[in-house]
Amino acid sequence: MESARVPPPPPPPPPRRPVDLKSPAFRKGDAHQDLSHSQISSSAIEPFSVVGSTQQDTEYEFPTLEKKNGDISLRTVIGHYLNAPHSRKVPAQQLYHILGRLRCLHHAIENYNSGLGTNSSEHLQYWHPHTLELLSGFGFRPSPSQTPVCIQGLADIINHLECLYAPEISEYKTLIQSGVITFDCLSELFRPETPVKGEGGAGNTGCVYRVTDSFYTERKNIHGIQKNFQVSMECIVLVGEHFSIATFTETFPAWSENLRRTLSEIGYQPVTDVDRELFQSRGERYVQFGLDGAKYSAYAPHTFFPRLSRSTWKVSSLSKTSESSFSVGGGRIMVDMARGTDLGYFPCLGVNEVSLAIIGLIGRYRQWMSKRSKSGTTDSELFTAWESVPSNFRIFCWPALVGFSFTTKAWGHVLVEGLSEIDFYDQAFDRLVLSDERKQIISAVVRQGSIPQKEDLIRSKQGGLIFLLHGPPGVGKTLTAEAVAEVLHRPLYYVTMGELGVNPEDLEERLSDVLDLCAGWNALAVLDEADVFLESRSNSDLIRNAMVCVMLRILEYHPGILFLTTNRVKLLDAAFESRITIAIRYESLNIDARKRVWSAQLDGILSPVSPGINVSALAEWELNGRQIKNAVQLALCLAVDRQSPLTHEILVKTLQVTSLGRQNMVADNTWETSK
């Protein structure tokens, strides 16, 4: 009887081509045809030979081959993956454990070879460096002529293993299609040519990942043999001004052999055709909003996640939320990954593997940028930095970007799917209740004020524009700044006293940070109730004097546009007068002005409004603009509650109630102790 180690003459070798699990060669009924005692190649010395006919007794033998240019020995690959470089014979079960690694390697080499000579962005940016880094572990060094890479027998041994395990593979694929999975199915869920959809670390949305490596491991411990499945995946992340690759590894401990878990339990699913179209479109938007610097955009409700910084004050008292909470309403945001990265903000949350990988990636990017600025080099070997993302890789883009919300006044990350262009209200300035002469002055100064003039003797003085808007409450001071920003399509940062602190050190640090943001983004700033910080200095209050001095210095050097509002202009320190570009006084609203405010408020209502509303009669009530706005809102609530249109009678009833309330507020002395 022949020795089991001496194989008979080999059958014709299978074709060297990518694995096609739909081909007849991989039908369940043909699982073991022509597998025993075979050699898979037609070269003088075969890359491997096979002994056995079943999964239990099949063994692969790998001879030592002569190495040629551009070639890597299959034995070297197998020995490296099994951590047994000197093994010649390997049982089929051990090779099946690393089938995922062999697939990933073969997939990378195919894409590398097909891209040679094309100079496509996909090849130059990804497949060329990725494949060469993968092959460097086997001692491979590319030739200057960039010849195709060849691992003789790699495709054949993958085909052979898939044919040997065809019944199991077919069963695993059926289970995955039905939405359930066993531990042994994981190798078929995570395949290099098939993207997977997983839970992201950016909020209530998922992300698509590319599989780069997968394999089973077995280790002995005090409880016996512990089996795990490890898979490495990638996604594309914008860090600073460049796109890069975040790589992370998930480890799945073995569970009961017959236990079927749902795909949602393990957190990963195959990408369907519908998913592919959706995530590809989202990736296109990711690149669109990420390229070419900061972008002023709108975001939808539930898509912005404010973040707290441990080392800075960056979140105001109005937005001190938990790390995992989101902003319920929509708003406006400046998407700025470069500045956000410098300040230490990340487009992710939580401590899952992918979030930790992104945080680590951003840390390495900052180190790379620091070294590049010092040395002046752009060595791409130190860090993967792309100017853009190849089309076929945009499906793998991360779902969130870092930005600053002007609505919540907080840094955080925003989901790309919630971003859109801002629909500016270009008629806002026209509807402002202000004389045409004053509108013209404000518009001209704001539009033309940035034209370079003669340089100041002190070069660090930037020569910004400072408006002082003073007058009684509710006459349109803050609204003027909002209208100007809306017409100019520029951001508006609304600063309140609570954000700036009550001592000179906090005031200087916080206001400087705010104005630096505004200057960098060409944003307008409004400092409401500025008299708190601009009040005349005295001989007794040293802290207030110091705060006034801080304000004087900051206003002197601010390069942007700043609106100061106050209703106590007589209390301002005389030194501020020379720093004000233009001061505008607002009078109490007369009856004509109140008519215009009433008309503007009623015209903007989307709910049904009765045609019988008498604006002239409503204007007889001596109210300011804010009180008129509040009255309309209250009347609308009452109309909706009655399930009727907004009528003149409802408005009058609301005015009567609110007017009585204001009178009671003034006259209320019920807290005083009766004698």
> Tokens for 501?
């602190």
Q: What is the mean pLDDT of residues 372-389?
A: 76
Q: Give the DSSP H/E element, type plus range, for residue 662.
A: helix 648-667
Segment 637-661 shows an average pLDDT of: 89
Q: What pLDDT is attached to residue 51?
A: 93
Strands 524-527 and 492-495: parallel
pLDDT band at 246 (very low <50, low <70, confident <90, very high): very high
Provide the mean pLDDT of the chain: 83
**Does position 35 have pLDDT exceeding 80, yes or no?**
no
* 103 pLDDT above the threshold of 90: yes
Q: What is the pTM of this model?
A: 0.83
528-533: average pLDDT: 80
Q: Which domains does the chain have, with CATH numbers?
A: 24-164 (no CATH), 436-585 (3.40.50.300), 591-664 (1.10.8.60)
- Is the per-residue pLDDT at 439 higher than 50? yes
What is the mean pLDDT of the segment spanning 496-509?
84
pLDDT value of position 59: 94
179 phi-psi bin (left φ>0, alpha ψ -120 to 50, beta other): left
The per-residue pLDDT for 540 is 74
Provide mean pLDDT across the span 150-170.
95
Q: Please spell the DSSP secondary structure of 53-95, one letter per residue.
A: SSTTT-EEE-------TTB--HHHHHHHHTT-TT--EEEHHHH
At residue 464, the pLDDT reads 78
CA 79, 81, 84, 89 torsion-angle sign: negative
- Quickly state the pLDDT bin for 437 (edges 50, 70, 90): confident
Q: How far is it, in rounded angstroms, from Cα 51 to Cα 53?
A: 7
pLDDT tens-place string over residues 192-222? 999 999 987 777 788 999 999 999 999 887 7
Which pLDDT does position 86 carry in this prediction?
82
Amino acid at 53: S
Residue 85 confidence (pLDDT): 83
DSSP per residue over 550-615, as a string?
A: HHHHHHHH--SEEEEEES-GGGB-GGGGGG-SEEEE-PPP-HHHHHHHHHHHHHT--S-B-TT--H
For residue 366, give the amino acid letter.
R
Question: Which residue type, as a one-letter code, is found at position 83?
Answer: N
Q: Please state the rounded mean pLDDT for residues 82-88.
A: 87
The mean-pLDDT minimum among 21-35, 81-95, 546-560 falls in: 21-35
Q: What percent of the chain has pLDDT over 90?
A: 47
Report pLDDT for 659: 81
Confidence of residue 500 (pLDDT cuts 50, 70, 90): confident
Query: Is the model's pLDDT at 555 over the cut of 70?
Result: yes
